[in-house]
Amino acid sequence: MADELILDVQGVKKAFDGLEVLKGIGFGLRKGETKVLIGPSGSGKSTLLRCINYLTVPDAGRIYLNGEEVLDANIDSMRARMGFVFQDFNLFSHLTVLDNVRICQVKVNGVDREAATRRAHHELERVGLGDKAAAYPAELSGGQQQRVSIARALAMDPDLLLFDEPTSALDPELTGEVVRVMQQLAAEGMTMVVVTHEMSFARQAADEIIFMEKGHIVEQGTPDAMFTASEHARTRAFLNVIAEHG
Amino acid sequence: MDIYDVLIRDFPFLLQGLGVAIVLLVALLSIGFVLGMAICLIQLYGPRTRLVQWPLLLYERIFRGIPIIIMLFIFYYGISGVFDISAFSAAILTMGLRSGAYQSQIFRSAFQSVPSGQMMAARAMGMSKIKAIRHIIFPQAARHAIGPWTNEFSSEIKETSLAYVIGVVELTRQAHYIITSTQGNVLTVFAVVALLYFILNRTGNSLLYAFERKLAVPGFEK
Amino acid sequence: MLEFIEFGIEWFPELLRGIPVTLSMWAIAISLGFILGLMLCWARVYGNRLLYWISTVYVELFRGTPMLVQMFFIYLGLPHVGIVFDAFTAAVIAITLNSAAYQAEYFRGSVLSVPKGQLVAARACGMTQWQAIRYIMLPQALRRVIPQWSNEAIIELKFTSIAYTIGVVEITAIASDIGSKTLDFFQIFLWAGLIYLVLTSTVASLLRLLERRFYVPGVTSA
């Protein structure tokens, strides 16, 4: 039933300069589920993720968050309920770590400053950066910045977290700390959509894996089904390439 | 009377001229700031139609392409033909408009040097465009702008001397009065005047540098 | 509008006579300023302590005081110690000295922005220090400096109008002269402004061509 879904994506289409990147995508997400979007670059995964919170406005299709449709008119309040984690972090560079996690609670959700501070400290502890509250983004490693950006998203008390290749901009030795935080969130029952090439994460933490190619969903299923008994040659080929090089 | 006696006797006039120059400077920078910020915001976030953007571009081109002396004459004689305006007000208006053309460019490139991901992240967190500009983009742009703005401040101090040509009795004009009324070594008079400008410039710059240091955070150092 | 055009037809040719004076003043001054600016830059970057100190004081003094005061100093002040120039020469000297200070700063910034490894590599393949500067440093630094240098050149073109205050018969002076003949300062200065706008736009376009001509990927930005 549709109204049990936290996120319901229906028939999303998007074209850039006449090139169709998403050709009618639909999927749903129940509370506490983690779905991982995989697929070759250019398959439309990131565009799909951006369409969900209208960072890219879809040409067609509907998106529902908790049964409420995402529209231009309500976009700011909808976005406040969907955390978004960027590939390149995008921490606010003029603010301390603490202020990064605090500012949108105060300015968007109207939380009072004291409560926002407590919440910020709590979320920073949660991602293992309780001691970095006073630092500025430029003083942190990439992995630390990404964990702050996860804390920033968590502090908004979102219904849903969207991750756009959160480890792709990191040096290989720094991906582990971010993946561990994401695994922990999945285990705690956070509802998440994750675009990633980290197959270990997909395998361990995903309730379902969605394989996309050329703007279509080719196949979706549990990690076990996808990794061991994929029905599609394209999926198997992709997973093989990733297994060798990823 | 020896030139030093003249200088000592007439020094209050020089200080008075300096005062006029400072008032002119503050006024023109304030007008330029408001105007420049408005132009910058319209250029970056306003409607992209030619009807809006084209006149702004033309405005910048004209004020950046024509010497300030010519502009002072045009505005002073142009306006005083229609209604009464003092040379001082004409100078403030002309130089303020001109500074606006320069400041808009300073602000524009400062805003543009804030990475686009900052706006995107702010919007993704649920901030409206105006909130994002106010809380995220503006504080960063201000840090990028303050260096170039200090240069603009310096060059405007020196430009105030050109209000001389339409008869504003500022520092350079006062100096000119002094040298036309004495036979002595006027080199000294100009040296003193130059020194006054130099001190004013240095003082202003130090204050702005201090402000810049105060705003500096890691990632935004000079 | 018609009146404006008729007025223009009558007086424009006379105004045009000022263009060669304005342009020659400008061309001589920025060329000499270029050479002096390079020397000052060299003294600040590679010179010994004395040279560094002299060039720094020079640059700070000329950047810290108005061109108008500098011109008065040279034309009205220096005769009192027996140094006399005609107005044109005095103006050229003032603009040269002023421009050199600014050019030196732009050169210095550009020289310092060339990565250290470039000179090390040049020395490593057997070049002398002079060769390394001449063949490796200078070509990169000069390419990088073109945009700022172009700005500076246009600022100085507009500054030539200041020469009017000491009586050089250039565009502004002719306009002022026609203004007192016709008592229509507003219109004649509009025409003069138009001439300056054409001059500065033309120079700006030519300098952009220069920039494109010397474009090298990675050294200069597109």
Q: Nearest CA of chain B to the CA of A114: how many Å?
A: 19
The C-alpha atoms of residue C142 and residue C206 are separated, in whole angstroms, by 17
Question: pLDDT tens digits, residue range B192-202?
Answer: 999 999 999 99
| Structure tokens, B10 | 């007439």
pLDDT above 70 coverage of chain A, percent? 98
Query: Do the strands A5-16 and A60-65 form a parallel or antiparallel pair, or are they unpaired?
Result: antiparallel
Lowest-confidence region among A185-199, B30-44, B79-93, B180-194: B180-194
**Number of neighbouring beta carbons within 10 Å of residue A16:** 11
Instruction: Say whether pTM exceeds 0.90.
Output: no
Give the 3-state secondary structure of C70-91: HHHHHHHHHHHHCCCCCHHHHH
Residue B78: pLDDT band with limits 50, 70, 90: very high
CB contact under 8 A, A104 and B127: yes
Question: pLDDT tens digits, residue range C29-50?
Answer: 999 999 999 999 999 988 899 9
The C-alpha atoms of residue B32 and residue B97 are separated, in whole angstroms, by 6
Q: Which of C159, C189, C194, C205 would best serve as a mutation to test chain B binding (most B beta carbons within 10 A)? A: C189
Helices in chain B by DSSP H: which ranges?
Answer: 3-45, 50-65, 68-80, 87-112, 116-124, 129-132, 138-160, 171-180, 186-215
For residues A226 and A195, is the Cβ–Cβ distance under 8 A?
no
Residue C132: pLDDT band with limits 50, 70, 90: confident
Size of chain C, expressed as the number of residues it contains: 222
| Structure tokens, C36 | 């002096």
Domain that holds residue B40: 20-170
Is the CB of B187 inside 8 Å of chain C's CB atoms? yes
Q: Which of A103, A60, C69 is nearest to B198 (CA)?
A: C69
Q: Considering only CB atoms, which chain B residues are within 8 Å of C193?
A: 62, 66, 70-71, 74
Residues of chain A with CATH 3.40.50.300: 2-81+160-245
Q: Enumerate residues 6+ apart whose C-beta is below 8 A from B88.
A: B20, B24, B163, B168
Partner residue opposite B186 with nearest CB, options C80, C160, C189: C80
pLDDT of residue C168: 95
Q: Above 60 in pLDDT, residue C222? A: no
Cα torsion angle, C101, C107, C111, C114, sign: positive
pLDDT of residue A246: 53
Q: Which of B59, B70, B106, B158 would best serve as a mutation to test chain C binding (most C beta carbons within 10 A)? A: B70
Q: Nearest CA of chain C to the CA of B160: how many Å?
A: 9
Tell me how far CA of residue A63 lies from CA of A27, A28, A36, A71, in angstroms. Answer: 10, 10, 18, 8
Q: Considering only CB atoms, which chain A residues are within 8 Å of B118?
A: 90, 92-93
Q: Above 50 in pLDDT, residue B204? A: yes
pLDDT of residue B175: 87
| Structure tokens, A60 | 């067609």
Q: Above 90 in pLDDT, residue B65? A: yes
Structure-model confidence comparison of residues C184 and B149, the more confident one: B149
Interface of B with A (CB under 8 A): 115, 117-118, 120-128, 131, 135-136, 139-140, 143, 217-220
CATH superfamily for domain A2-81+160-245: P-loop containing nucleotide triphosphate hydrolases (3.40.50.300)
CB contact under 8 A, C189 and B73: yes
CB contact under 8 A, B197 and C76: no
pLDDT of residue A129: 96
Q: Considering only CB atoms, which chain A residues are within 8 Å of B125?
A: 79-80, 84, 104, 108, 152-153, 156
For residues C107 and C141, is the Cβ–Cβ distance under 8 A?
yes
Q: Considering only CB atoms, which chain B residues are within 8 Å of A139?
A: 218-219
| Structure tokens, A70 | 């995402």
Q: Above 70 in pLDDT, residue C127? A: yes
Partner residue opposite C66 with nearest CB, options B74, B172, B184: B172
DSSP string for A1-60: -GGGEEEEEEEEEEEETTEEEEEEEEEEEETT-EEEEE--TTSSHHHHHHHHTTSS--SE
**Number of neighbouring beta carbons within 10 Å of residue C108:** 21
| Structure tokens, A179 | 């993946």
Average pLDDT over all residues of chain C = 91
| Structure tokens, B6 | 């003249």
ipTM metric: 0.89
Average pLDDT over all residues of chain B = 92
Q: Enumerate residues 6+ apart whose C-beta is below 8 A from A148.
A: A89, A91, A97, A100, A101, A124, A127, A129, A132, A137, A140
For residues A85 and A166, is the Cβ–Cβ distance under 8 A?
yes
Lowest-confidence region among A138-147, A198-207, B41-50, C118-127: C118-127
pLDDT of residue B222: 61
Is residue B205 in some structural domain?
no
For residues B118 and B96, is the Cβ–Cβ distance under 8 A?
no
Residue C24: pLDDT band with limits 50, 70, 90: very high
DSSP string for A143-183: HHHHHHHHHHHHTT--SEEEEESTTTTS-HHHHHHHHHHHH
Is the CB of C81 inside 8 Å of chain B's CB atoms? yes
Vertex C20: Cα angle to C17 and C23 (nearest 5)? 135
Over range A198-227, report the average pLDDT: 92
Q: Above 80 in pLDDT, residue A245? A: no
Is the domain defined by C21-169 classed in CATH 1.10.3720.10?
Answer: yes
The C-alpha atoms of residue B35 and residue A241 are separated, in whole angstroms, by 57
pLDDT of residue B16: 93
Residue A228: pLDDT band with limits 50, 70, 90: confident
Q: Which CATH number fits the domain that encloses residue B52?
A: 1.10.3720.10
pLDDT of residue B220: 81
pLDDT of residue A2: 43
Residue C4: pLDDT band with limits 50, 70, 90: confident
Size of chain A, expressed as the number of residues it contains: 246
pLDDT of residue A1: 42
Q: Enumerate residues 6+ apart whose C-beta is below 8 A from A125.
A: none
CB contact under 8 A, A94 and B139: yes
| Structure tokens, A46 | 């990131």
Return residues 129-188 of A near B (CB < 8 Å). Answer: 135-139, 149, 152-153, 156
Q: Which chain A residue is nearest to residue B144, measuring alpha carbons?
A: A94
**Number of neighbouring beta carbons within 10 Å of residue C36:** 18
In terms of Cβ atoms closer than 10 Å to its own Cβ (0-12, 13-18, 19+), residue B8 is exposed
Is residue B1 in some structural domain?
no
Is the CB of B57 inside 8 Å of chain C's CB atoms? no
Cα torsion angle, C66, C67, C68, C73, sign: positive
Return residues 16-55 of C near B (CB < 8 Å). Answer: none
CB contact under 8 A, C196 and B67: yes
Question: pLDDT tens digits, residue range B81-124?
Answer: 888 899 999 999 999 999 999 999 999 999 999 999 999 999 99
Question: pLDDT tens digits, residue range B144-166?
Answer: 999 999 999 999 999 999 999 99
Return residues 83-142 of C near B (CB < 8 Å). Answer: none
**Which residue ranges make up each domain of chain C?**
21-169
Domain count within chain B = 1
**In this complex, how many residue pairs, one in chain B and one in chain C, have their CB atoms less than 8 Å apart?**
113
Q: Above 80 in pLDDT, residue C221? A: no
pLDDT of residue A14: 96
Cα torsion angle, A3, A209, A33, A64, sign: negative
Q: Considering only CB atoms, which chain C residues are within 8 Å of B160?
A: 66
Over range A153-176, report the average pLDDT: 94
Phi, psi (rounded to 5 degrees) for B127: -75, 145
For residues C168 and C42, is the Cβ–Cβ distance under 8 A?
no
Q: Nearest CA of chain B to the CA of C128: how many Å?
A: 33
Q: Above 80 in pLDDT, residue B6? A: no
Question: pLDDT tens digits, residue range C135-182?
Answer: 888 889 988 899 999 999 999 999 999 999 999 999 999 999 999 999
Lowest-confidence region among A187-201, B65-79, B185-199: B185-199
Q: Which chain B residue is nearest to residue A73, measuring alpha carbons?
A: B128
Q: Which of B114, B116, B118, B125 would best serve as a mutation to test chain A binding (most A beta carbons within 10 A)? A: B125
Residue A175: pLDDT band with limits 50, 70, 90: very high
Q: Considering only CB atoms, which chain C residues are within 8 Å of B157?
A: 66
Is the CB of B162 inside 8 Å of chain C's CB atoms? yes
| Structure tokens, B85 | 């305006």
